[in-house]
Amino acid sequence: METQDESGSATVTDIARTTAPWGRELVVQALAYDSGMRLARLRIREGHRFTMLDLDAATVEWLAAALRQALGQATAE
């Protein structure tokens, strides 16, 4: 599904959605700004509360590696 963000300057596309432990819902979205900038958005819903993190490519790579390490898995090649 493609929509505009709150500012109206980015197109938001849903990429993936899952339910996490304790009833949390996680949604990954791609943001494409009119300026050409691209970000990934991680939306976390906990009941009526939402947390949104807009992340650049370097931060996404860092977060993916840190999460794999937290679970004791090797870094993906």
pLDDT per position as a tens digit, 13-68: 999 999 999 999 999 999 999 899 999 999 999 999 999 999 999 999 999 999 99
The pLDDT of residue 28 is 97
Reported pTM: 0.80
Contacts of 45-51 with CB under 8 Å at 24 or more apart are: 46/22, 47/23
pLDDT at 77 exceeding the cut of 60: no
pLDDT at 76 exceeding the cut of 70: no
pLDDT at 6 exceeding the cut of 60: yes
Enumerate the domain spans of the chain.
2-70
Between the alpha carbon of residue 23 and those of residues 14, 40, 43, the distances in Å are: 20, 22, 14
What is the b/e burial string over 31-63, where b = at least 16 CB atoms within 10 angstroms of the residue's CB? bbeeeeeebbbebebeeeeeeeeebeeeeeeee
